[in-house]
Structure 1
Amino acid sequence: MDNKYALDFEQPLRGLIDQLDHLHQLSNENNIDLSKEIRAIEKKISSTKKSIYTNLSPWQRVQLARHPQRPYALDYIERVFTGFQELHGDRAFRDDRAIVGGTAYLNGEAVMVIAQHKGRTTREKLAHNFGSPYPEGYRKALRLMKMADKFGLPIITLVDTQGAYPGVASEERHVSEAIAVNLREMATFGCPIVSAVIGEGGSGGALGIAVANKILILENAYYSVISPEGCAAILWKDRAKAPEAAEALKFGANDIHKLGVVDGVIPEPMGGAHNDPDTAAKNLKDAIVAELDQLKKLSPEELIEQRYQRFRNIGVVEEELADGKIVPINEAAS
């Protein structure tokens, strides 16, 4: 763990790591055998890590999803795929770098990769608009998905955005319409589609590239109709209530997996993907490959129907019967 980027709840761990570094320095500079003390601190670090990271609150997972050292889309693309050839532009207005996409190989098979990328340095963040796409970003994504469907390439999307860009320019160019068209068109593609939420999955901005046969999510990512700050501002008129909003929204990986919103949770290294990007990328790759292997067995018609049923069956609508009993609406109909 880089102490420079330690989060608030990681402070106990940071103190122990500082102690360990100090003991190593004393041992090296003064030629003193401190191996017993070092082993004791290492053991305490291990137990503290387990205590912290196995009992994370929803808000703490949001903090990990936003960690400045967390791997972003291009980091995963570099590790998971080979021969990535980025394609640019929506052929109508401009190239939106908040969405990157192009052809690549996954275990030797040609695929189309589309992802939301935030950028790490200030220059990169500005170039990629902090991962918040304009409408032309969604139109570029749709252009690439149509190309994939035409040539029978599986589509893999990596979701990582707080939401579509909400500014005036975005509204002028009809961002809601662009997202809506993507939802409609993705539902009709006869090629396999796998989406993975790698960080933040915010509202329609995320869903605009995530109408998939299978949706996966990394352990410390979240997928929600609204950010916790936005929810807090609406419900409590106070963005400081974001931790309470995160708890109420139930948007963590395990919660939404139980609700059927996602199909699988991908484990991360202890402390988050940023602590071991290579292992995180391997876990992501293995999960995507496993899902694609199953989807490739389906015909185009079966893929479309499976995708339709997947979204049709999310959530349970209840109905009160004449005797006062509450049952799911599908049971009431029968």
Structure 2
Amino acid sequence: MKTVHDPKRFGRVAVLMGGNSSEREVSLDSGRNVLAALQAQGVEAFAVDGIPALVEAIRAGGVDRVFNILHGGDGENGVLQGLLQAMDVPYTGPGVLGSALTLDKIRTKQVWIAAGLPTARFVRIPPGGDLAAAVRELGLPVFVKPSTEGSSVGVFRIAEESDLAPAVAFAADYAGELLAEQMLTGGEFTVGVLGDTALPSVRIVPAGDWYDYHAKYVADDTQYICPGLDGEDEDAIRALALAGFRAAGCDGWGRVDIMRHGDGRLMLMEVNTAPGMTSHSLVPKAAAQIGIDFPTVCWRVLESSLEGARR
């Protein structure tokens, strides 16, 4: 499974984690797991908390490549990627275009629509826009979510008019764009991507009404069914994930979230370019189904940084 066998080939690897986004704690958890896995395989890896500390380490000559596990914010919006390319430091994950695009759910969906790929219907809500009007235009039930946040931060499930008030209050204080998105009821899935391989799909079945922050990172009663589909349906969801990943300008590794409509149609939802690597995370769960253990996943992701010239 590995194409590189000597850990010295990677040099000094900065595992970038933490930072100051709303996903800081999840990133620290992911980073600790990745760091331990790489060190156990002989990689000269060390932790770096946030981009300013990384810049200092690079300027000091102590970094040969970066394993980016900085969730959200500048870790996934193209800022880090552009910085590292300017400093000629290889890194894991998609490049500037894929990272910048996919952190923005609205623009990603616009690209998918232009490419003829299926995605759930949505209405853009600009800063200061009328959230209630957007929800009514789309029709209940819907989700309302920030366009550039992750880990279900700021997501509201609106099944009836009485659910609107908390979302309206959030929108009043939120400086960014929001979107109201059609709620699909045929099942929630995610597909990890490693290079040119789509991993087995994972069907997510939360104990509650939906897959919120608690279900993702805290609860132990969320069910993860892998593979999530069978036969031709499983082939179709993996093919759609790869098509959506590539159409969004992504390479290296990532995760594509997909929902199924009540009539069975598959709909692309969003792309995560620095997926979680915690005990609850889905890329490791899917990889394990085809015999790739957690340390090997980390190794293979790091291998992709050796191909940085492709950008």
Superposition TM-score, scaled by structure 1 size = 0.27
Considering fraction of residues, name the structure with more helix.
Answer: 1
What's the TM-score once normalised by structure 2's chain length? Answer: 0.29
Structure of higher RCO (CA pairs closer than 8 Å, 6+ residues apart): 2
